[in-house]
Chains A and B, each alone.
Chain A
Amino acid sequence: MLDLLFRTHWLPLAILLSSLLPGLVIFFLKEESSRWRISLNMLGATVKMLLIAIMILGLDRGYTYRTTMAFLPGIELVLHADPLSVLFAALSAALWFWTTLYAVGYLEESPNRSRFFGFFSLCVSATAGIALAGNLITFLIFYELLTLTTYPLVVHRGTPAAIEAGRIYLAYTIAGGLVLTVGTIWLWSLAGHLDFAGTGRLTSMAESDHWRLTAIFFLLLAGLGVKAALVPLHFWLPVAMIAPAPVSALLHAVAVVKAGAFGIVRVVFDLYGLDLAARLQLLQPLGIIASITIIYGSLQALQQDDLKRRLAYSTVSQVSYIILGMALGGYFGVIGGMVHLIHQGLMKITLFFCAGNLAETLGIHRISEMDGVGRRMPWTMTAFTVAALGMIGIPPMAGFISKWYLGLGALEAHQWWVILVLVGSGLLNAAYFLPVLHIAWFKEPPGRWPHERRFGRRETHLLLLLPPMATALLVIAAGLLAGSFWSPLGWVEFIVAGGGVK
């Protein structure tokens, strides 16, 4: 019976549909029928998690999942599930679940909720598609769909500032998408295949097409780097944080920024393969770009007083850890990079949830308004503290595990300077997170908050409180229990071992 469940080849499709169908129905729901909307959303999120759980169990037992269709002559659309896609899909499903709960609480009584939740579901479907894409063409299609489905979320509030932010967002992402498309087509015309599976098929061309492969790599990198917010393509990200908190949370933790980073991981790890990338000497420049982004993002974060802007620049910095790990190229480096895909998502979503709570409950948007807020909202700030300490890389939080493996990877690859980058980034992270914690916990609260809403005995709406606490717990668990197989680290080690990296 169980076997039958694992053997179902339509599982990737079902995972896509589990968020797509609810999204479609929600579009046509009336604004008032919030009960239907919530039930549909939560049903979809739960089903998606269950399906992915089945898939993980199946993959662990050695089953494979692959669905293909002809798209253009010689090009197929492929959905397939390998351990790496499941890693990303599981992250997106789990965070979708918590973000939806959060959004229900956050948008209570606000207009246009059907539109919001509809696009929210579509956005998650696109992310799932990115995770399950089996070749670059499929990836590209879902990648572009993601751009289109997130735009309405960014401009959701409809204010002139939001529209302007949306315009910048579109300009950047569509330009990036174009570059990515050019790179994809060129690679296809050169190699005739774009499959993520079967690493090493490009290797035979390493000598003859050395420069072309290099040029294509950088085209792909530029296209993906826009979403991954690599410096200097990151300008849109701090602007886009005008979006409502659940959108920012999803954007920074799993959807847009992560899609870019995941794409780079795919290109380096699966499309080119680490060996070829090292032979073409692509890893060193990649590492340098990532390092610059890491330091630059942190330096910018240091100067922001607006909490969400500080978090946004922190994302710029932290997402590049993933790329740095891939650039190191060895066993430990790749593990550090991939596991940060999950860890950064958990930590950053917690931080954005908390920032949203402060804004919704007390009207606090700036760090200078956060005096003593820990006493008014202890649970929110506890979650914030856990995530912020994780960002700095303090054990036992998840961030420490990422940094530890990145550091080991740096030594393994004999790239000493990377240790300096990690240490410097840790210092900067401490410099922009610890003062926030001090202000929130150890300063006297002001007489009144900028714009306070009361929620009875609770510090805020229950639906706003549960998600950050749940994700903060995950941040601790991912680090404290890193040694177990079902931790993100355990799964990533499984992926990397399967990829034959030594």
Chain B
Amino acid sequence: MKPEILLLAVPAAPLLLLLAYPAGHKGLLERLTPLAALPALLISLLELPPEPTLVPWLLLGGWLGLDETGRLFLFFTSLLWLASGWYSRGYLVKDPLRAEFFLFYLLAMSGNFGVIMARDLITFIFFFSLMSFAAYGLVVHTRDAKALYAARLYMLLVILGELLLFAALLLVVTAAGTIRLDPVPGSIPAGFLTMALLLIGFGIKAGMLPVHIWLPLAHPAAPVPASAVLSGAMIKAGLLGWLRFLPLGETALPGWSDFCLLMGFGAVFYGALVGALQHDSKTVLAYSSISQMGLMTVGIGIGLANPEQWHIALTAVQIHAVHHGLAKGALFLGIGVASRTVAGPGLQVLVRIGLVLPALILAGAPFTSGMVAKTGLLQAAGHLASPWPALAASLLPLSSIATTLLMARFLTLIWSEVKGGVALNGSLWRPWLLLILAALASVWLLPAARPLIPDVLGMPGLTAGWPLLIGLTLAALVYRWRLAWKIQIPAGDLLLPMAWGGRKLRDLLARSWALLTLPLPVPELPVAGARRLSGRIEQALRNWLVVGTSCAAILLLLLFFLMIA
């Protein structure tokens, strides 16, 4: 088979399945949705040549391919879409708008796969937009007031991101002289504008401070399986954008590196602190995503400082992306399992274990992928200019404390929700279990992670575990002193002052706009003669037969002369 057909099949499979919707086979659509992710999963496991393939008819000549980063991203992304799609069938079983959900789910899935496989920037932005716009349907799905508000905010930032990226890509293409992605990191102009546009444009999707405001509202607003893919997979498209476009491993940009490190560490702790004060388990998880993406931003910052050490930082970022994606997916799916299933105390214990495991992974407990990822980041940070190595050495363990705090908060919120008495639903717990197992196992199977594993295994359990203990103590204090009740920060945190400023600005604009748009009368032709003339013409024209035939006659006459000429 030609490689391009194989590559095209990945984003095309969900789109083809969509045809079942207008054909009226809505049941088929539901049943096959998880399978639509199968081609992607299979291809991510194949050894394909890393060179991109040209699909000449696609957009402006589309390039598709899978490099190492792409394979990793496609692997965990497709697994997540598969598990969540499977899970949706059980979760939405009584939802009257089920079919619409699957429609948007498939569209967003195709976009997410395509973004990963795109090797030219037009194809990249096409799939990126497809994913972003389709996810609107997932966020707005429940149609209650919260979802509507969240969806509006989401769309506002999607549009903002699209426009920033539009400008950024124009600059990139003009500098690179080609639409292909491979030469981009080596040729992008390191000017302020391009870098700022790229960082913010993709940062919106990746939940970077301070453009994260939509995320704690939109991710929880969607139904549980959609939250899982939003927070586990789609958020990573922003990260992928950075990996594809920023001059990582090519040019040292110390200023931007400091910016990313600051914003990254800022997000790690800010997300954790605000998240720990939330009252909704899904919102806590959304803040945890902001916090975790902060760690990946730190990785980008390391890469921007030190091109030679980029490969170490890249490995750390990749491991982080995989492990956060799978663990966060498992946590989200766990919410639905906890509140819907389980009969008997034995199973309840199992569900609780299933909830704790991914939380431990995310917090970087000893011998988990979280630990591996952090070890990688620490190693990469060692090559930075001072004071960053020392700072990173203390901040990274602190970040484990922050994550533990968040996870503990999540577990206290969800703990009481684990119910008995409802029938256990196979299409809920099976995909959940799949993700937990994948999260536990995958990083140990990743070839890129292997060099780090001896370091992790060599660590004495106690030194590796102390951040976890401190985090748990802090969480106990938050719980004990009822801090979440004393300090109330609504989801969206910075959104409030921003919205206030926005309203003021809008009022101001409205006032000046009102001056500009005073109702203007349609101007009349000032000359009376012209008016009479147009009146007479009109009289004549109203007799349509006269006009029609005379027009036609003129035309015919002209043509006649043309023919004999």
A interface residues, Cβ below 8 angstroms from B: 10, 13, 16-17, 20, 23-24, 27, 67-70, 77, 79, 115, 118-119, 122, 125-126, 129, 141, 145, 148-149, 151-152, 155, 163, 166-168, 170-171, 174-175, 235, 239, 299-300, 303, 378, 389, 392-396, 400-401, 403-404, 407-408, 410-412, 419, 422-423, 426-427, 430, 434, 438, 441-442, 479-484, 489
Return chain A residues, CB-CB under 8 Å to B137.
441
Within 8 A of A (CB), among B360-377: none
Kindly provide the distance from the CB of A472 to the nearest chain B CB, expressed in whole angstroms. Answer: 14
Query: Which of B398-406, B463-471, B540-548 is near enough to bind chain A?
Result: B540-548
Q: Which of B56, B530, B531, B559 contacts A16 (CB 8 A)?
A: B559
Return chain B residues, CB-CB under 8 Å to A396.
59, 126
Residue from B57, B140, B535, B558 having most chain A Cβ neighbours under 10 A: B558
B518 contacts the other chain (CB 8 A): no
Whether the Cβ atoms of B538 and A27 lie closer than 8 Å is no
Return chain A residues, CB-CB under 8 Å to B129.
394-395
Q: Which of A67, A119, A129, A378 contacts B565 (CB 8 A)?
A: A67
Return chain B residues, CB-CB under 8 Å to A300.
517
B549 contacts the other chain (CB 8 A): yes
Of all chain B residues, the one with the shortest Cβ separation from A70 is B565
B192 contacts the other chain (CB 8 A): no
Whether the Cβ atoms of B59 and A479 lie closer than 8 Å is yes
Whether the Cβ atoms of A423 and B167 lie closer than 8 Å is yes
16 residue pairs A–B, Cβ–Cβ below 8 Å: A13-B562, A67-B565, A77-B561, A389-B133, A392-B159, A396-B59, A400-B126, A407-B166, A411-B170, A419-B170, A423-B163, A423-B167, A426-B162, A438-B155, A483-B57, A484-B57
CA distance A175 to B527 in the complex (A): 12
CA distance A427 to B157 in the complex (A): 11
Of all chain B residues, the one with the shortest Cβ separation from A152 is B544
Residue from A67, A171, A401 having most chain B Cβ neighbours under 10 A: A171
B347 contacts the other chain (CB 8 A): no
Known: A427-B163, A481-B59. 13 other contacts (CB 8 A): A13-B559, A16-B559, A20-B559, A115-B545, A122-B555, A145-B554, A149-B551, A166-B538, A171-B530, A404-B166, A423-B167, A442-B143, A483-B60
Kindly provide the distance from the CB of A130 to the nearest chain B CB, expressed in whole angstroms. Answer: 13
Return chain A residues, CB-CB under 8 Å to B488.
none
B43 contacts the other chain (CB 8 A): no
Return chain A residues, CB-CB under 8 Å to B538.
163, 166-167, 170
B522 contacts the other chain (CB 8 A): yes
Whether the Cβ atoms of A427 and B159 lie closer than 8 Å is yes
Return chain A residues, CB-CB under 8 Å to B522.
168, 235, 239
CA distance A408 to B57 in the complex (A): 21
CB within 8 Å for A419 and B547 given contacts A167-B534, A404-B122, A483-B59: no
Within 8 A of A (CB), among B395-439: none
Q: Which of B62, B140, B162 contacts A394 (CB 8 A)?
A: B162
Main secondary structure of the interface of B (DSSP, over half): helix
Kindly provide the distance from the CB of B303 to the nearest chain A CB, expressed in whole angstroms. Answer: 27
Q: Which of A166, A403, A434 contacts B155 (CB 8 A)?
A: A434
Whether the Cβ atoms of B162 and A408 lie closer than 8 Å is no
Q: Which of A10, A67, A145 contacts B551 (CB 8 A)?
A: A145
CA distance A412 to B175 in the complex (A): 11
Return chain B residues, CB-CB under 8 Å to A145.
551, 554-555
CA distance A376 to B186 in the complex (A): 52
Return chain B residues, CB-CB under 8 Å to A489.
60
B390 contacts the other chain (CB 8 A): no
Of all chain B residues, the one with the shortest Cβ separation from A69 is B565
Return chain A residues, CB-CB under 8 Å to B171.
411
Whether the Cβ atoms of A408 and B548 lie closer than 8 Å is no
B interface residues, Cβ below 8 angstroms from A: 22, 56-62, 122, 125-126, 129, 133, 137, 140, 143, 148, 151, 155, 159, 162-163, 166-167, 170-171, 173-174, 513, 517, 522-523, 525, 530-531, 534-535, 537-538, 541-542, 544-545, 547-549, 551-552, 554-556, 558-559, 561-565
Kindly provide the distance from the CB of A338 to the nearest chain B CB, expressed in whole angstroms. Answer: 16
Kindly provide the distance from the CB of A324 to the nearest chain B CB, expressed in whole angstroms. Answer: 15
Whether the Cβ atoms of A483 and B58 lie closer than 8 Å is yes
Q: Which of A163, A171, A426, A481 contacts B163 (CB 8 A)?
A: A426
Q: Which of B59, B140, B143, B162 contacts A482 (CB 8 A)?
A: B59
CB within 8 Å for A395 and B525 given contacts A125-B555, A407-B166, A483-B62: no
CA distance A98 to B321 in the complex (A): 50
Whether the Cβ atoms of A170 and B59 lie closer than 8 Å is no
CA distance A480 to B523 in the complex (A): 43
Of all chain B residues, the one with the shortest Cβ separation from A172 is B525
Main secondary structure of the interface of A (DSSP, over half): helix
Whether the Cβ atoms of B562 and A27 lie closer than 8 Å is no
Of all chain A residues, the one with the shortest Cβ separation from B147 is A442
Kindly provide the distance from the CB of B156 to the nearest chain A CB, expressed in whole angstroms. Answer: 9
Q: Which of B126, B151, B167, B555 contacts A395 (CB 8 A)?
A: B126
CB within 8 Å for A13 and B170 given contacts A152-B544, A427-B159: no
CA distance A125 to B555 in the complex (A): 9
Of all chain B residues, the one with the shortest Cβ separation from A483 is B61
Return chain A residues, CB-CB under 8 Å to B58.
480-481, 483
Of all chain B residues, the one with the shortest Cβ separation from A146 is B551
Q: Which of B140, B148, B174, B563 contacts A412 (CB 8 A)?
A: B174
Kindly provide the distance from the CB of B409 to the nearest chain A CB, expressed in whole angstroms. Answer: 32
Whether the Cβ atoms of A482 and B60 lie closer than 8 Å is yes
CA distance A69 to B561 in the complex (A): 7
CB within 8 Å for A13 and B563 given contacts A483-B62, A484-B57: yes
Kindly provide the distance from the CB of A235 to the nearest chain B CB, expressed in whole angstroms. Answer: 5
Return chain A residues, CB-CB under 8 Å to B525.
171, 175
Q: Which of A115, A389, A423, A479 contacts B166 (CB 8 A)?
A: A423
CA distance A394 to B122 in the complex (A): 11
Kindly provide the distance from the CB of A40 to the nearest chain B CB, expressed in whole angstroms. Answer: 14
Whether the Cβ atoms of A174 and B170 lie closer than 8 Å is no
Return chain A residues, CB-CB under 8 Å to B554.
145
Q: Which of B56, B126, B159, B541 contacts A434 (CB 8 A)?
A: B159
Return chain A residues, CB-CB under 8 Å to B57.
481, 483-484
CB within 8 Å for A484 and B56 given contacts A175-B525, A408-B174: yes
Q: Which of B126, B143, B541, B552 contacts A20 (CB 8 A)?
A: B552
Whether the Cβ atoms of B552 and A68 lie closer than 8 Å is no
Of all chain B residues, the one with the shortest Cβ separation from A303 is B517
Return chain A residues, CB-CB under 8 Å to B565.
67-70
Kindly provide the distance from the CB of B486 to the nearest chain A CB, expressed in whole angstroms. Answer: 38
Return chain A residues, CB-CB under 8 Å to B551.
122, 145, 148-149
Return chain A residues, CB-CB under 8 Å to B562.
13, 67-69, 77, 79
Q: Which of B125, B534, B541, B563 contacts A10 (CB 8 A)?
A: B563
CA distance A24 to B60 in the complex (A): 44
CB within 8 Å for A408 and B555 given contacts A395-B59, A403-B166, A430-B159: no
Of all chain B residues, the one with the shortest Cβ separation from A118 is B548
Of all chain B residues, the one with the shortest Cβ separation from A121 is B552
Return chain B residues, CB-CB under 8 Å to A167.
534-535, 538
Return chain A residues, CB-CB under 8 Å to B143.
442
CA distance A122 to B555 in the complex (A): 9
CB within 8 Å for A442 and B140 given contacts A152-B548, A482-B60, A483-B58: yes
Kindly provide the distance from the CB of B514 to the nearest chain A CB, expressed in whole angstroms. Answer: 11
Whether the Cβ atoms of B125 and A395 lie closer than 8 Å is yes
Return chain A residues, CB-CB under 8 Å to B151.
438, 442
Return chain B residues, CB-CB under 8 Å to A67.
562-563, 565
CA distance A412 to B170 in the complex (A): 10
